[in-house]
Homo-oligomer: A and B are copies of this chain.
C-alpha cells in the first residue's frame, strides 16, 4: 500500500508544501503560498496601515501560516495526484526564532480586535532586529552572574532570539506582555493549531531559548535579575516540557483536516527549524559529516556524541538536531550576500553586457571568468566579514577587507577572492570543531548556492581539503520535514520508526563529488595561513581598526 507524507517549509516570504513518497523520498508534487502580508516592516496591514513600524522591525501575520496550510497543501496534493487518504504524516519546519504572544487557548493576540493595532501583539519574525538593547542586557547580566550556559552559545545571545524578543515586549508594551498567557515559537503554534496540543520542540528551545536537556532553562534568579516581572516567564508563559524532535505531537484536528483535505488524526510531528531538518535530508544522521546550508549566509551543522565547548558556536543542543546526539551549529553571517553585493555594486557595464549577450546572469559570467584563474594567480586575499563574523569570533562590528589589488586587478579576480575568503571562513570553523574534539571528515552542502556555482563548491573542497557532496533535493528543508512526518507516523502506519531508517530510504546525494585537488589545496594552505594571520590580527584585538571605524561612522551619522 502506498503511503505519503507532507512536509511544509515556512520561509521568510512564503510557505512551501511538498508531497513525498514515504518509500523512496521522491517529491510527487509541491506548491508555494506567498504570504499575503509577507514581511511586515513598514506598517501594519490594512485596515491598520496607519500604524507605522520603526526601522529594524519585522513582523508576520499568523493567519498567513494557516493560509499556507489551507492553500498550499491541497494544491500540492492535487499536483501530486495522490489520494489524501494515503497521507500518513505531516511535518513542518520554520524560520527561527520567530515567536508570538497568544491566549491560553492558542488565540494569537494579533487577531483580537482590541489588540490588533499593537505591533507587539504580532509575530516577531527571525529578522526582527529591534531587540538589541534587550540582548545587550541579557548578555551583560549573564556575564556578570557567570551563567554557565553562555559558553554553549559562543558567549553571546543574539537579539534575534527568544528572550530578547520577549523582553522587548515587556519593556515596550507591558500590557501586551501581561495579556499574553503564552509566548511561543510560531513553529510550535502552528503545530498547536493543527493538533490542539501545545508542544515545545527541543530544537528551538535549545538553540533559541537557552534550554538544555540536562539543565533545562536558565533559573528564576537570572530572569529576575533581568526584570522582576520576567522572573516566572518559563512557568507562567512557556513550558518546562520540551518535546524531542521526531516525536508525534498529535493528530490533525477535524478543523485542520478540513483545511487540507487530509484525514483527521493524521500524525503531526513536533515542529523543527529549516536548517536543522536539512541535516537528515542531506543523508546525515551521525557524527563526522558536516552539513552546510549555503545561501545568503552559511549554517554549519555537525552531530557529536558528547558535549564540547567549541569557540564561537551559535549553539550546541542535545537532541537539537537528532535524538540522542549533540547538535552543533556554527555560522557565517554573509556568503551569498557578499557575492550579491559585489555584483550589485562593483561590476562594470562590460560584464553586464557580456552576460546578456551570452544569456548568462552576471554571477554565471563572473564564475566562468574566475574559473580560468589558478589559486594564487590574482595576488588577492580577503576577509569575509562584510556582515561581521558569527563563527568563530562572534563579532558584528568586524568588516570586510580586500588586500593585494593592483592596477591590473579585474572584477573576476575579486569575485574569486571573495569566494575563497568565505571558504577560508568555513575552514576556520572546521578547525575550531576539530580542535574541540568534534570531527569533520567530509561535507554535504545544500541550499541555493551549491545549485548555482560549481566553482564555489570546488574551491570549498580545495580549501578545506574535504570532499564536498551535494544533497539531491533542491528543497531539503521540506523533504526533511516530510521525513520527520514519516517518523511521527511510525513504521506501523507506513512511516519509519527512526530518522536513520527514514534517511536511508528517503534522502540521497547527487552522484557528483567535489574532490580536493592536491596541487590547488597546497596553494590554498599558504593562502589560508595569510587569512589566519589577518583574521587574528584584525579579529582578536591586535588592531581593532574595524571597530574604531565602525564607531567613528556611527558618531558621524549621529551628527
- Which B residues are CB-close (under 8 A) to A410? 345
Interface residues of A in 302-341 (CB under 8 A from B): 334, 337-338, 341
In contact, A378 and B523 (Cβ under 8 angstroms): no
In contact, B552 and A376 (Cβ under 8 angstroms): yes
Cβ-neighbour of A556 out of B338, B377, B409 (below 8 A):
B377
CB distance from A527 to the nearest CB of B (A): 8
In contact, A405 and B402 (Cβ under 8 angstroms): yes
A280-319: CB near B (< 8 Å → 1, else 0) gives 0000000000000000000000000000000000000000
- Which B residues are CB-close (under 8 A) to A79? none
- Which B residues are CB-close (under 8 A) to A552? 376, 379, 523, 526-527
In contact, B553 and A530 (Cβ under 8 angstroms): no
Q: Does A348 interact with chain B (Cβ within 8 Å)?
A: yes
Protomer copies: 2
In contact, A548 and B523 (Cβ under 8 angstroms): no
Question: A506–B334 Cα gap in the complex (Å)?
Answer: 60
CB distance from A334 to the nearest CB of B (A): 6
Interface residues of A in 386-418 (CB under 8 A from B): 386-387, 399-407, 409-411, 414
With A352-B349, A530-B549, A553-B379 already in contact, the answer to whether A387 and B407 are too (CB < 8 A) is yes
Q: Does A534 interact with chain B (Cβ within 8 Å)?
A: yes
With A346-B411, A545-B534, A552-B523 already in contact, the answer to whether A406 and B378 are too (CB < 8 A) is no
Q: Does A550 interact with chain B (Cβ within 8 Å)?
A: yes
Interface residues of A in 519-535 (CB under 8 A from B): 523, 526-527, 530, 533-534
CB distance from A269 to the nearest CB of B (A): 36
Question: A550–B549 Cα gap in the complex (Å)?
Answer: 28
In contact, B404 and A402 (Cβ under 8 angstroms): no
Question: A523–B557 Cα gap in the complex (Å)?
Answer: 13
List the B residue with the shortest CB-CB distance to A554: B379
In contact, A386 and B400 (Cβ under 8 angstroms): no
Question: A414–B341 Cα gap in the complex (Å)?
Answer: 14
Question: A473–B191 Cα gap in the complex (Å)?
Answer: 79
Question: A401–B399 Cα gap in the complex (Å)?
Answer: 13
Interface residues of A in 342-368 (CB under 8 A from B): 344-349, 352
Question: A377–B380 Cα gap in the complex (Å)?
Answer: 26
Question: A533–B545 Cα gap in the complex (Å)?
Answer: 9
CB distance from A239 to the nearest CB of B (A): 38
Cβ-neighbour of A346 out of B341, B346, B526 (below 8 A):
B346
Question: A223–B180 Cα gap in the complex (Å)?
Answer: 91
Question: A409–B418 Cα gap in the complex (Å)?
Answer: 15
CB distance from A403 to the nearest CB of B (A): 5
Q: Does A381 interact with chain B (Cβ within 8 Å)?
A: yes
Interface residues of A in 483-539 (CB under 8 A from B): 523, 526-527, 530, 533-534, 537-538
In contact, B553 and A407 (Cβ under 8 angstroms): no
List the B residue with the shortest CB-CB distance to A375: B556
Taking residues whose C-beta sits less than 8 angstroms from the other chain, chain A's interface range is 35 or more
In contact, A545 and B379 (Cβ under 8 angstroms): no
List the B residue with the shortest CB-CB distance to A340: B407
In contact, B399 and A556 (Cβ under 8 angstroms): no
In contact, B380 and A549 (Cβ under 8 angstroms): yes
Q: Does A543 interact with chain B (Cβ within 8 Å)?
A: yes
- Which B residues are CB-close (under 8 A) to A550? 379, 404
Question: A550–B405 Cα gap in the complex (Å)?
Answer: 10
Cβ-neighbour of A404 out of B376, B400, B526 (below 8 A):
B400
CB distance from A165 to the nearest CB of B (A): 23
CB distance from A125 to the nearest CB of B (A): 19
A45-64: CB near B (< 8 Å → 1, else 0) gives 00000000000000000000
With A533-B543, A552-B376, A556-B374 already in contact, the answer to whether A387 and B406 are too (CB < 8 A) is yes
In contact, A545 and B407 (Cβ under 8 angstroms): no
Question: A352–B348 Cα gap in the complex (Å)?
Answer: 9
In contact, A545 and B348 (Cβ under 8 angstroms): no
Q: Does A455 interact with chain B (Cβ within 8 Å)?
A: no
- Which B residues are CB-close (under 8 A) to A226? none
Question: A401–B538 Cα gap in the complex (Å)?
Answer: 14
Q: Does A555 interact with chain B (Cβ within 8 Å)?
A: yes
Question: A555–B552 Cα gap in the complex (Å)?
Answer: 41
- Which B residues are CB-close (under 8 A) to A334? 407
Question: A403–B374 Cα gap in the complex (Å)?
Answer: 25
Knowing that A344-B348, A400-B404, A533-B543 touch, tell me 16 more A-B residue pairs with CB under 8 angstroms: A337-B407, A338-B407, A341-B409, A346-B346, A346-B347, A346-B348, A348-B348, A376-B552, A378-B553, A379-B550, A399-B406, A401-B402, A402-B403, A530-B545, A530-B549, A537-B537
23 contacts between A and B (CB under 8 A): A334-B407, A345-B348, A345-B409, A345-B410, A346-B348, A347-B348, A348-B352, A376-B553, A376-B555, A376-B556, A377-B553, A377-B557, A379-B550, A381-B545, A386-B407, A403-B549, A404-B546, A526-B552, A527-B552, A530-B549, A534-B543, A534-B545, A537-B543
A positions within 8 Å CB-CB of B: 334, 337-338, 341, 344-349, 352, 374-381, 386-387, 399-407, 409-411, 414, 523, 526-527, 530, 533-534, 537-538, 543, 545-546, 548-550, 552-553, 555-557
